[in-house]
Structure 1
């Protein structure tokens, strides 16, 4: 790591961000980062409040004593991060600091973490807020009569539960600036709504008695993964869908017995790795290898240029001791279901070019005792299409003939865009004045906490912004160094121009 002073302004941002990368903060485990923020705020003499779901707000009063002259503004980020790592990476997210590394790509400096997510989503938002808090305290920043509420929410990545269950009295204001976007020349003013559900499929296994059967593992790896909303239209491979295709073809051509299927971790991440363990006659091993050699190039061709490191492998499991497999009827129905499961963009927005309207991420499969558990995330810009997709999925599950129990674990609204709001117009003008360029104003397919904020506070105008972050929700996540200063400059100018 270089000296933080070499990262550019503001230095306080980089000092805070570095400290944040030392703090464990996976979703639902935000207690240490919350305590860190609380101590910083209390050290500077600011009032704080924590609601029942454990969201935190730091209140920074403006300098005017007259209520009529005060303007209330909320700056918001989330405290948790996506905790993803490569299988080969030794890292305990519950206690280990991230191992930071500088990259230089096309003459641009980027900050990343070795083998894990960086947590720039949304560590950059936290660092911006803490820097503003510190600079107001030391007198180097002055926003006059603006009352600032610095809102830090919990559990955004798992299902937006901090925003959805927040105490409605915790904040108030005319404007809300969400610091959770990842392109410094695009500001977001609308987003998709979503539904995340878990499916449990009951099964019974049978004992493998044929001594001529051997256990093999078919694995899918090397994929980029990424955000299941913003990256869903980038033709990145989903390891579970690729595995399902390979297993379906294998199950059709050979007399195999499936022991287990595993893949995925988070519903908001495109699955990068998956595998299945199955039994096959030892005499057919070479035939299976030859068969897969014919199938694999056709699958890899689909991802040339977008997921070129895709690997599909077959390994002998010499020491595998679990000699059980699904019944043939269950196996056939399960493989059919997973092969038919929709995935990726379902429809595009009719008038906004390139914007995904409705999508599905087949995210997780675990083989548990007596249950196959799978998780699916669906998103749409409209409630109607979100419900219609869910209806279609339930129909597919019914047709499969499997005993499937569905539990919806997350349901969040869309954030309808207002392209003519006062905040949008001020933001466009400030950006133009600073950088002599037009900023892109957009709605996105990913879910943002602003969906709940706009629902709870319909009169509060909102916008989402942030520095350039690539590879979100994957171990390839990286933050562009110089982009941090650009968004800082804009953020301060925007606050100084609000009325």
Structure 2
């Protein structure tokens, strides 16, 4: 860790918060860049720390860390527990924020009851869970049975760490996942998912040099987690842009030269842009149409997207633009692509069953690439959305591939560890927790394949707006989560013969 990073930890306002061991670790994690696929520096730091304390460390073939700690005195015969978190974070920032997630630390600060980051994602998803696991490993006075900590790589960008976890490495009987985001809720199931990668081949023509060039930008949206926040009715910048193009591109004679939007398939797109040319005599009409469209969007999304903004800026004259037929295919494809909640669950009230996030659009030399994140609590729901997208792409003349399918985590109402966590929560807080299924891709479903015997549960503090620059974690609930986790570890039963 660099001297600058060490100085940041020493000066961090997080060190005054409860519980101090957890927040001290979180300050270190914020100081070491760790976006998905760039976790090596943080992993090396944790490995060195563990080895200094004589804690056995395994780095498996895909880069997951498994750190073991013996039971505290008198608890040697308890069932073994693995506390699980992921090493990576989602790298998202505001457009005006200068930040390199592979080099720059996260600027965490305290805002009343919340910890936030300045202009970027905070990484409390899953940095708080990771911090709690490491704080317990480093403790000398927390009672627990045989303990393992599993820190997976690449959870946010494909779950390759969970996919690659091999049988036989973990010895535990119970797994506590720390990636949930609402205090007072115990998660016992989650959605599965798949990435839909759409490719539309492009045909170009020379740009008309008598036309003027502009770029239309969509900005100011909240974004957020494409599973946890998908039901909130937030605007998707890609869809907002396509809606305008579908309504007015032909009328205005727009000739598209570049289209892009979003940056992660599992984050609701906050920004999108389209560069184009148009006849100079259509410019006034374009400005009128944009003003009217802005009014429509403000009326429709006033409650959810008060900062939504459409802006038109000068662009460099392009050498080429899309042919008319290709442009029509592209606009129709994006405009008609489903997005948002597809169906609510019949079994779990208030929980989304199936959803789709049109997350990323990018233009290359010869194609437009679109990445959608499909989620569903049931395999048939996911398969239906795949079929829907396949049919749409067939009609649009595009190709689609489905990659990285991962299973959901099927709820187990008879789970012993869920019963322990529930009873422990009630004894501490004198109220019943909610037993929940989350519309997000926890890694638990993947762990069941190499470790079918694992009894699993997921808990965490209250995190708002993960996967976006508005991400924040509630300080009080971090303490509540910590107290619950320690109390659960103390209540783990003895092994049966």
Relative to the length of structure 2, the TM-score reads 0.94
Instruction: Give, in whole Å, the separation in 2 of the partners of 1:333 and 1:308.
Output: 32
The one of 405, 410, 427 aligned to 1:411:
405
Report the alpha carbon displacement of residue 88 of structure 1 after superposing the two structures with TM.
0.9
1:127 to 127, 131, 145: 131
Find 2:90's aligned residue among 69, 73, 82: 82
* Alignment map for 1:4-23 (pairs within 5 Å): 4-8=14-18, 10-23=19-32
What CA distance in whole angstroms lies between the structure 1 residues aligned with 2:190 and 2:180?
11
Residues 348, 437 of structure 2: 8 Å contact kept: no
Residues 169/3 of structure 1: CA separation in 2 closer, same or farther (3 Å cut):
same
Residue 397 (structure 1) aligns with: 393
CA contact (8 A) 1:206 1:324 kept: yes
Q: Give me the whole-angstrom Cα distance separating, in 2, the residues matched to 1:63 and 1:483.
A: 27
Equivalent residue for 1:62, pick from 53, 64, 71 = 71
1:355, distance to aligned residue in structure 2 (A): 0.7
- Cα separation, partners in 2 of 1:162 and 1:5, compared to 1, 3 Å: closer
How many residue pairs match? The answer is 483
Whether 1:260 and 2:258 are equivalent positions in the alignment is yes
Deviation of 1:16 (Å): 1.1
Inter-partner Cα distance in structure 1 for 2:183 and 2:177? 13
Matched, 1:437 2:428: no
Q: Aligned in 2, Cα 1:468/1:63: closer, same or farther, shift over 3 Å?
A: closer
CA contact (8 A) 1:64 1:70 kept: no
Give structure 1 stretches of 5+ with no counterpart. none
Q: How do residues 256-335 of structure 1 correspond to structure 2 at under 5 angstroms?
A: 256-317=254-315, 320-335=316-331
The answer to whether the Cα contact below 8 Å between 2:78 and 2:492 also exists between their aligned partners in 1 is no
Equivalent residue number for residue 361 of structure 1: 357
- Work out the CA distance in 2 between the residues paired with 1:420 and 1:113: 40
- Residue of structure 2 equivalent to 1:449: 443
Query: How far, CA to CA, are the matches of 2:412 and 2:60 in structure 1?
Result: 29
1:131-170 alignment runs, 5 A limit: 131-135=135-139, 139-143=140-144, 146-170=145-169
**TM-superposed deviation, 1:315:** 2.3
Question: Retained in 2: the 8 A contact 1:197–1:410?
Answer: no
- The SS at the match of 2:448 is helix
CA contact (8 A) 1:78 1:153 kept: yes
Greater shift after overlay, 472-481 or 299-308? 299-308
User: Which residue of structure 1 aligns with residue 200 of structure 2?
Assistant: 201
**Of 96, 100, 103, which residue of structure 2 is paired with 1:92?**
100
Q: Note the alpha carbon deviations across 1:200-221, whole angstroms, 9 max, x for none.
A: 221121111341x111111111
> Residue 41 of structure 2 is aligned with which of 32, 46, 51?
32
Aligned counterpart for 1:338 among listed residues 331, 334, 341: 334
**Residue matched to 1:382:** 378
After superposition, the C-alpha distances for 1:366-421 in whole angstroms (9 at most, x for unaligned) are 11111111101101111111111101111011111x2x332333210010011231
1:478 aligns with 2:472: yes
Which residue, out of 110, 120, 138, partners 1:102? 110
Match for 2:347 among 345, 351, 354?
351
**Cα distance in 2, alignment partners of residues 58 and 174 from structure 1:** 16
**How far 1:66 sits from its partner (Å)?**
10
Give, in whole Å, the separation in 2 of the partners of 1:444 and 1:272: 23
1:218 maps to 216
Structure 1 residue 296, shift from structure 2 partner:
2.3
CA shift for structure 1 position 313: 2.0
Structure 1 position 65, deviation (Å): 10
| Paired residue secondary structure (1:287) | helix
Alpha-carbon distance in 2 for matches of 1:156, 1:167: 16
Q: CA deviation at 1:56?
A: 0.6
Indicate the residue corresponding to 1:180 in structure 2: 179
Correspondence for 2:490 among 482, 493, 496: 496
| Contact 2:39-2:88 within 8 A present in 1 as well | yes
Which residue is 1:231 aligned to? Answer: 229
Residues in 1 aligned to 2:377 and 2:118: alpha-carbon distance in whole angstroms = 35
- 2:57 aligned partner: 48
Secondary structure of the 2:424 match is helix
| DSSP-derived class of the 1:76 partner | strand
Task: Indicate conservation of the 8 Å contact 2:143/2:489, yes or no.
Answer: no
Normalised by the length of structure 1, the TM-score is: 0.94
CA distance in 2, matches of 1:428, 1:282: 66
- Kindly state the Cα deviation for residue 113 of structure 1 after the two structures are TM-superposed: 0.9
Task: Confirm or deny: 8 A CA contact 2:65 2:151 kept in the other structure.
Answer: yes
- 2:253 and 2:351 mapped to 1: Cα distance? 44
Q: Is the 2:257–2:275 Cα contact (8 Å) retained in structure 1?
A: yes
**Deviation of the 1:63 alpha carbon:** 4.9
- Cα contact 1:360–1:376 (8 A) shared by 2: yes
Alignment of 1:72 onto 2:80: yes
Deviation beyond 4 Å, 4+ runs, structure 1: 1-5, 63-67
Quick one: structure 1 residues 4 and 234, their matched pair in 2 at CA, closer, same or farther if it must change by over 3 Å? closer
